[in-house]
Amino acid sequence: MKIKTIQCKSLLGKSRLPEADYCINPYIGCLHGCIYCYSRFMKRFTGHTERWGEFVDVKINAPEILEKELLRGSKKGMVVLSSVTDPYQQVEEKYKITRGILEILLKHDFPISILTKSDLVLRDIDLLKQFSDCEVGLTITTLDERVARDFEPHSSFPQQRVNALETLHKEGIRTYGFIGPILPRLTELQPIFAALQGKVDFVMAENLNMKCGNWRDIQEVLGKNYPYLLPLYRARFDQKYWNTVEKELERLTEEFNIPLKGFYQH
Ligand code: SF4
């Protein structure tokens, strides 16, 4: 694992997500090292040659840079943390970069939306509660610890994430479950909805994209632990398959009375 501190020149980026104006990535790389991760393309832009999940650059001056950017008069808008890293990956415990960023955003009262796979987010409840507009999502791709360890080797266990959502929700923070990417035959939607009931305000879901340099790693995990699924994944999943998934999501959203805010498909 290679952990390096770096100085960044800018932090507040324009968001490509329709529901957000800005995105902030406190780190380059992500030690959660999810097998299916779409952000691995970042290696190309940052000169990293290590395996995805085995390096992280810590933007050590991120809060100062953000403060300067906001003082320069950036228009208020929804900020997403984060788009190509996890703001609460392991190094956050030590470096507290995300916490520093939240302190600045709170001072300027920017609306925020956080997405993570770590219950470390609970550390910052004191700050999150003070925002006038704040939502926190935790990714739940499975409730099965073994599947989670195979595909998301270094993030919090699924139950820890569900518990984190429950705590945040009880504290009055708007919460959501991000069910994505949906891993065909491994992600069981019904139990996930059941686990999230009463703990989230809505869910979002996403299909599995295997065209972003992640196939080699997915194939390796499937071959080792789920060989019976390899032919199915090799054949890929057509639109008809994802339409069935969408119908199931719509059925569950009614059964459990949890709104589905979006089903992203690549
Ligand atoms: S937590 Fe997110 S950014 Fe980090 S490796 Fe997993 S999918 Fe990628």
pLDDT of residue 207: 97
Question: Which DSSP symbol is given to 75?
Answer: P
* CA nearest to 208, candidates 247, 241, 177, 175: 241
In a domain, 265, yes or no: no
Q: Tens digit of pLDDT for each residue in 81-125?
A: 999 999 999 999 999 999 999 999 999 999 999 999 999 999 999
Atom of ligand 1 nearest to the CA of 33: 5
**To the nearest whole percent, how much of the chain has pLDDT over 90?**
93
Q: How far apart are the first and last CA of the chain?
A: 31
pLDDT of residue 173: 98
Query: To test the ligand 1 pocket, which listed residue (37, 157, 161) has its Cβ within 8 A of the most ligand atoms?
Result: 37
Instruction: Tell me how far apart the alpha carbons of residues 257 and 150 are, in angstroms, rounded to a whole number.
Output: 31
Q: Whose CA is nearest to atom 7 of ligand 1?
A: 37
CA of 219 relative to ligand 1 center, distance in Å: 18
CA of 200 relative to ligand 1 center, distance in Å: 21
pLDDT of residue 62: 98
In a domain, 83, yes or no: yes
In a domain, 52, yes or no: yes
pLDDT of residue 266: 87
Domain ranges, residue 128 = 2-260
CA of 38 relative to ligand 1 center, distance in Å: 8
In a domain, 266, yes or no: no
CATH of the domain at 127: 3.80.30.30
Instruction: Tell me how far apart the alpha carbons of residues 117 and 138 are, in angstroms, rounded to a whole number.
Output: 5
Q: Whose CA is nearest to atom 6 of ligand 1?
A: 34
* CA nearest to 181, candidates 157, 208, 217, 202: 208
pLDDT of residue 43: 78
Total domains in the chain come to: 1
Give CA angle at 161 (157, 165), nearest 5°: 170
In a domain, 194, yes or no: yes
Q: What is the pTM of this model?
A: 0.97
Residues of the chain with pLDDT under 70: none
pLDDT of residue 132: 97
Structure tokens that stand for 233 in this block: 């994944």
Q: Whose CA is nearest to atom 3 of ligand 1?
A: 85
Angstrom distances, CA of residue 82 to CA of 7, 22, 113, 196, 213: 18, 10, 8, 22, 20
pLDDT of residue 44: 79
Pocket of ligand 1 (CB under 6 A): 30, 32-34, 37, 39, 85-86, 117, 155
pLDDT of residue 115: 98
Atom of ligand 1 nearest to the CA of 116: 1
In a domain, 54, yes or no: yes
Instruction: Tell me how far apart the alpha carbons of residues 163 and 40 are, in angstroms, rounded to a whole number.
Output: 28
